[in-house]
């Protein structure tokens, strides 16, 4: 239908944007949207609009203790857990799971796929008489294919990094940011902590001195037409990893005996319109 619109030169930019918006809305209406699968410890997101094919998430890669910034990952940081798939809906839109940690913490997950988003609702409860050792947790989202780079070949393979972004000083900032930390117990990678999180309690990768403006982290698709972004509330850190991955790692804070905590997360797979993404993020998380 866009070919019949008037094409006066001063209106061309607006018409191009209008056509792009209408094309996206029509495609969204015709598409079944995103769907979910579970394959062992992988959460898989499928959808016709996903550049590079399905997105795989190591969900969850680990629950983690505090005092982790300069600690051995295996001997100290990870809190072992088991995962059980409770149910998956017939239309592959809703997955329910339960994690049980070795310290007794129970985390129930309800994950729902929409047209261009995935919503996470977690309820963590501590039925024990001791404080939980789990202070944060990390979903590891693999984005090599989405960024057009494929799987990482070595731990020093930075090819996907310039596609990735966070928000610094209120602006979208591509990686590697300035400054860029290079020293840590484990390298490479990059960590940005949340404002309320101690510098002693994050991933043992290089810790950037900058504090992000918000909890969003993401990347552009290989053709720069799409954005993948993710956020959690409360959040512990943002992380650029070594498996062509990005993390928004959520905060638990070590639940006290009998304590119950709600955690919310979101994934967006949307056209590369940054102002629209920010509006959605603010709408989804401003009241929490």
In tens, the pLDDT along 173-188 reads: 999 999 999 999 999 9
Mean pLDDT of 275-279: 98
Q: pLDDT band at residue 3, thresholds of 50, 70 and 90?
A: very low
Mean pLDDT of 204-230: 98
What confidence score (pLDDT) does residue 39 get?
97
What confidence score (pLDDT) does residue 11 get?
55
Q: Which residue has the higher pLDDT, 155 or 220?
A: 220
* Lowest mean pLDDT, pick from 7-11, 158-162, 178-182, 211-215: 7-11
Residue 23 CB neighbours (<10 A): 13
Q: ∠ CA(107), CA(112), CA(77), 5° rounding?
A: 35
What confidence score (pLDDT) does residue 5 get?
35
Decide if pLDDT at 250 tops 80.
yes
Structure-token match 């390298």, residue found: 187
Q: Which residue has the higher pLDDT, 43 or 29?
A: 43
What phi-psi label fits residue 221: left (phi over 0), alpha (psi between -120 and 50 degrees) or beta? beta
Mean pLDDT of 188-211: 97
pTM: 0.88
Decide if pLDDT at 44 tops 80.
yes
Q: pLDDT band at residue 156, thresholds of 50, 70 and 90?
A: low
What confidence score (pLDDT) does residue 4 get?
39
What confidence score (pLDDT) does residue 286 get?
84
CATH architecture of 34-285: Distorted Sandwich (2.70)
DSSP letter assigned to residue 92: S
- Give residues with Cβ within 8 angstroms of 16, minimum separation 6: none
Mean pLDDT of 241-253: 96
Q: pLDDT band at residue 196, thresholds of 50, 70 and 90?
A: very high
Token pair listed for 143: 């984005």
Q: Which of 72, 83, 70 is nearest to 199 (CA)?
A: 70
Mean pLDDT of 65-86: 98
pLDDT digits (tens, 9 = 90+) for 85-131: 999 999 999 999 999 999 999 999 999 999 999 999 999 999 999 99
Decide if pLDDT at 6 tops 50.
no
Decide if pLDDT at 1 tops 50.
no
The Cα-based distances of 29 to 33, 103, 127, 202, 280 in angstroms read: 8, 45, 44, 41, 19
Structure-token match 């809305």, residue found: 25
Q: Which residue has the higher pLDDT, 255 or 21?
A: 255
Sign for the CA dihedral angle at 56, 60, 66, 67 comes to negative
Mean pLDDT of 207-226: 98
The answer to whether 108 and 96 have CB atoms below 8 angstroms apart is yes
The Cα-based distances of 69 to 139, 201, 242 in angstroms read: 18, 5, 17
Helices within the chain (DSSP H only): 12-30, 274-285
Q: pLDDT band at residue 222, thresholds of 50, 70 and 90?
A: very high
């Amino acid at each position: 239908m866009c070919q019949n619109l008037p094409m006066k030169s001063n209106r061309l930019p607006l018409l191009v944007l209008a056509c792009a918006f209408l094309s996206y809305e029509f495609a969204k209406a015709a598409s079944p949207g995103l769907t979910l699968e579970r394959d062992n410890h992988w959460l898989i997101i499928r959808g016709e609009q996903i550049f590079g094919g399905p997105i795989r998430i190591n969900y969850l890669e680990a629950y983690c203790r505090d005092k982790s910034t300069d600690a051995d990952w295996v001997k100290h940081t990870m809190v072992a857990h088991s995962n059980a798939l409770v149910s998956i809906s017939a239309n592959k839109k809703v997955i329910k799971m339960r994690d049980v940690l070795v310290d007794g913490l129970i985390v129930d997950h309800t994950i729902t796929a929409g047209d261009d988003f995935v919503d996470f609702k977690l309820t963590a409860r501590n039925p024990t008489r001791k404080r939980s050792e789990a202070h944060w947790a990390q979903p590891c989202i693999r984005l090599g294919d989405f960024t057009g780079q494929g799987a990482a070949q070595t731990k020093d393979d930075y090819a996907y990094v310039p596609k990735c972004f966070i928000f610094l000083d209120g602006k979208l900032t591509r990686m590697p940011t300035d400054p860029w930390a290079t020293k840590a117990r484990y390298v490479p990678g990059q960590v940005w902590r949340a404002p309320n999180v101690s510098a002693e309690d994050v991933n043992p990768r290089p810790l950037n001195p900058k504090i992000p403006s918000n909890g969003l982290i993401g990347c552009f698709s290989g053709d720069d037409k799409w954005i993948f972004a993710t956020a959690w509330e409360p959040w512990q850190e943002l992380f650029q990893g070594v498996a062509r991955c990005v993390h928004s790692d959520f905060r638990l804070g070590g639940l006290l005996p009998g304590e119950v905590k709600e955690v919310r997360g979101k994934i967006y797979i949307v056209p590369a319109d940054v102002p629209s993404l920010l509006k959605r993020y603010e709408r989804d998380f401003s009241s929490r």
